[in-house]
Chain A
């Protein structure tokens, strides 16, 4: 007497926390986050985080710098990965630039005030 169907899965077993290792629940992983940070005075810093792998951050940074006439760097963050930092509030310009390059607008999330 061996019914394989029945002993394969115990529906009442304690599964533990179903969301225990689900990192991407409610995560914002697929978004490109564009943030702004205040510096001293009326200076600001724009950060771009979550660029998809297929884009070369270095080249993008170069294009940004040329297009927006601002300086910027590439920062490696252990959590966020490569982050592009630009001087000044370039959020709308970044968004416009990326959309023009064919990145869907829905994946770009602009934060800040």
Chain B
């Protein structure tokens, strides 16, 4: 079984996969031996979601903006975005580290309000405008009721805002968070503005983002830039070694020292290897592209993406024997875990005790 791929009992099941890095807090227990999911989560294999920082409403908006707006077309768009320049080999050509556009299908319930809101502010914007006045009137009509009891907030959601809003209404109906605030309303129209009660944080937050996006429509659209790196090119050298050909290119793309990446990979995979004359990495053991990719993803989430703003635009510097990662876009700075090789069991013959 020379060329037989190893450690992958599920290889037959491999589907045409879209490799997109998405910061997905769910879908944790990614079993590396199972077919890699269409969207690779931002979790370690242990299932603990790598803390990529809190999800802001802004991000929710962005993600849902892309996710829900485009709906069916999403796949195609993704493909275009991912493989725009590489039309020939569509599959597995890029590993986009998808920072903004998260798998909307798996979004947590908290994103639901944002979703509807997003629909309002992005693609339905024009239609919404027409219905807005109408809505405002209705709001005024309901004003008294709202002042009477907050429980009536639910009614706000059901205010017929015009026929164009039907889609939204349907979604709001299912929305468990519909009561949490008048999410479907644009800034300035919130019924609670005129009421005497204390505004909730959610309401104010939505109002803020509504106004933010109203003032800067580019925020939602320009956010689609993805972090893509070329997929690792894996060759087999002989029977027991794997060559990772484009590691230099990938390291360059990630702005990391190849030594650091290599150290991490060896520690994670529990193996050793060397760099050959042409800068390729020779790894002992048989590994598949998918497996290498998985390790790289974990490296990226741990050492490349900023935990605060998720930007991959970070620098890794070493001070006092500790690596610090400073973000270029948000300026945050944090220490990262030292790469540590753990216990290495004795495999193979004891006489050639090289791998330990």
Contact = CB atoms under 8 A, between A and B. Distances in A.
Secondary structure dominating the interface of A: mixed
A33 B7 contact: no
Contacts of A61: none
Contacts of A57: none
A47 B345 CA distance: 8
Contact of B343 (A83, A105, A108, A109): A83
Interface residues of A, number: 39
B270 A36 contact: yes
Interface in B319-338: 320-323, 335-338
B47 A105 contact: yes
B322 A19 contact: yes
Contacts of A108: 46, 48
Contact of A19 (B48, B285, B321, B348): B321
Interface residues of B, number: 39
Secondary structure dominating the interface of B: loop
Interface stretch (A4-12, A62-70, A72-80): A72-80
A113 B32 contact: yes
A38 interface: yes
Interface of A: 17-19, 25-28, 33-42, 44-45, 47, 49, 75, 77, 79-80, 83, 85, 89, 91-92, 95, 105-106, 108-113
Interface of B: 1, 6-7, 29, 31-33, 44-48, 267-271, 285-287, 291-292, 294-295, 320-323, 335-338, 340, 342-345, 347-348
